[in-house]
Amino acid sequence: MKQELEKRWVKGPDGVDFEVEPLRDYYCEAPPTVMPAAYSKIIEGLFNWARAESLWILGFGTGCGAIEMRPLMTPRFDAYRYGIQWRPTPRQSNLFVISGYLSVKTLKRVIRSYEQMPNPKYVVGLGSCTINGGMYFDSYNTITRLDEYLPVDVYITGCMPRPEALLAGFEELKRIIRAGKGEGANQYAERFDWYKANQKRVIHDWDMPDYNW
Amino acid sequence: MTMQPLYQALKARFPIGELTEQRPDLAFITVPREQLRGLLLHLRDQEGFTHLVLLTAVDWIEEDRFQLTYLLHDRKGARDIGLRVMLPRQAVIEGAPMESIHDLWPTAATYQRELREMFGIDFPDSPGVNEDFILEGWREIPPYRRDFDTLKYSNATFAPRPGRESQDPAQYMKAQLYPDGA
């Protein structure tokens, strides 16, 4: 376990010693729970419409696909006109774009970031690498299938997909959310043990808490 | 421009192996392991090769050797020279150490750390050489060794999605461009 996660005594700025146990103090101890739908179908429909029009992308580029985000968020393709914006922290975003190949080392950071995002949250897999490994299908260090580790709502094919393809993918995601099928976060909660087992099978030095929120 | 004058000058001082001239401004010399340090110092301080471009390894599994390549650059003369050092493969796998050159070029420490992780070539004196470099929690043999089967490892570890097809590009394009087999 990492040193900063171990139980220890710390001297505060006011000179008082206090005990810190990071895994209990800083992280939740319970697994994620399924978020039930609203009490009425009309209300849930309204919620889903609002969710579809409020997509906040986490600014986390995992592979070469991150380069496609720059023309998208700038005037050339201007994704902001579709109500899609980028945020710098996972606490403020609800859409995770896995932009291309994902190494095991990055997967660890991706899981931490994904779990810190508030519900409901969505994942878009960008490019062939997230679907079947793409050109890294035989790499010793790159996962070949994203949906083993995170629930994926939409895949966008291509190597690399153009920004137009991304915009089409986001529109597709909006349709999915409006239809009430964007249930990735609930899927993750329901099959939490399965996802964790898959993640731990490839991440050998698991030195972080199981529940990262 | 040619590297011959430099090679002759070096040969007069050091017992070095053959010269491979890749380009007029790029040549490789095979060097016995004991001569490496003296030769690097001489090239750096006397001949103007002040920049260590890279330090990398090649796994000649058929010949049972590891090749270390020290590539140096002479900025003023706009030329590069590569020194090849051959190591016995089996001895290296069993943990035979290699001399570190981090005191000649501090950047070498990073290369040596990478070689330790990716090929398993040990440089015991190099600072931080045993820390994780790129891989985290790696359990198999070092992945850049030629006897490590990456496809087999990937299939066993990463749950590949069924339905993937591969084609030989030459055959595939031939069938596309000349469907009647002309």
Contact B139 A145 (CB under 8 A): no
The long-range contacts involving A38-45, CB below 8 angstroms and separated by at least 24 positions, are A44/A180, A45/A178, A45/A180
Confidence of residue A151 (pLDDT cuts 50, 70, 90): very high
For the cut 80, the answer to whether the pLDDT of residue A2 exceeds it is: no
A197 touches chain B (CB under 8 A): no
Of A137, A139, A198, the CB nearest to B164: A137
Contact A131 B161 (CB under 8 A): yes
Of B135, B153, B160, the CB nearest to A133: B160
Half-sphere exposure of B107 (CA within 13 A, CB side): 10
Give residue B182's pLDDT: 63
Sign of the alpha-carbon torsion through A169, A170, A176, A179: negative
Of B148, B160, B163, the CB nearest to A144: B160
Give residue B162's pLDDT: 87
Of A105, A138, A205, the CB nearest to B154: A138
**Which comes out higher in pLDDT, residue A91 or B163?**
A91
- The letter for the amino acid at B96 is A
- Considering chain B, what percentage of its residues have pLDDT values greater than 90? 62
Of B135, B158, B160, the CB nearest to A202: B158
For A46-202, the fitting CATH number among 3.40.50.12280, 3.40.50.620, 2.30.30.100, 3.60.40.10 is: 3.40.50.12280
Of B134, B148, B158, the CB nearest to A144: B158
A140 touches chain B (CB under 8 A): yes
Give residue B1's pLDDT: 64
Give the H or E element holding residue B116: helix B108-118
Q: Where are the domains of chain A?
A: 46-202
A145 touches chain B (CB under 8 A): yes
- Considering chain B, what percentage of its residues have pLDDT values greater than 70? 99
Contact B154 A201 (CB under 8 A): no
Nearest chain A residue (CA) to B141: A140
For the cut 90, the answer to whether the pLDDT of residue A38 exceeds it is: no
Q: Where are the domains of chain B?
A: 4-158
Per the DSSP assignment, residues forming a β-bridge with B88 are B65
Distance between CA A43 and CA A47 in Å, rounded?
Answer: 6
Mean confidence (pLDDT) of chain A: 90
- The letter for the amino acid at A25 is D
For the cut 90, the answer to whether the pLDDT of residue B116 exceeds it is: yes
Contact B161 A132 (CB under 8 A): yes
**Contacts with A203 from chain B: Cβ below 8 Å:** 136-137
**Contacts with B138 from chain A: Cβ below 8 Å:** 204
- Suggest the residue from B140, B158, B166, B167 to mutate for an interface test with chain A (most A CBs closer than 10 A): B158
| Cis amide bond preceding B98, omega within 30 | no
Query: What is the distance in angstroms between the Cα of A131 and the nearest Cα belonging to chain B?
Result: 8
Give residue A42's pLDDT: 92
Confidence of residue A4 (pLDDT cuts 50, 70, 90): confident
The reply to whether the predicted model has a pTM over 0.80 is yes
B160: CB partners within 8 A, 6+ apart? A132, A133, A137, A144, A145, B154
- Which residues from B are below 8 Å from A when comparing CB atoms? 134-140, 143, 148, 150-151, 153-154, 157-161, 163-164
E strands, A73-142, in order = 84-87, 95-99, 122-126
Contact A105 B164 (CB under 8 A): no
Could you please state the CATH topology (level 3) that the domain comprising B4-158 is classified under. Answer: Beta Polymerase; domain 2 (3.30.460)
Q: Tokens in use for B48?
A: 């103007």
Q: Tokens in use for B142?
A: 């070092």
For the cut 90, the answer to whether the pLDDT of residue B159 exceeds it is: no
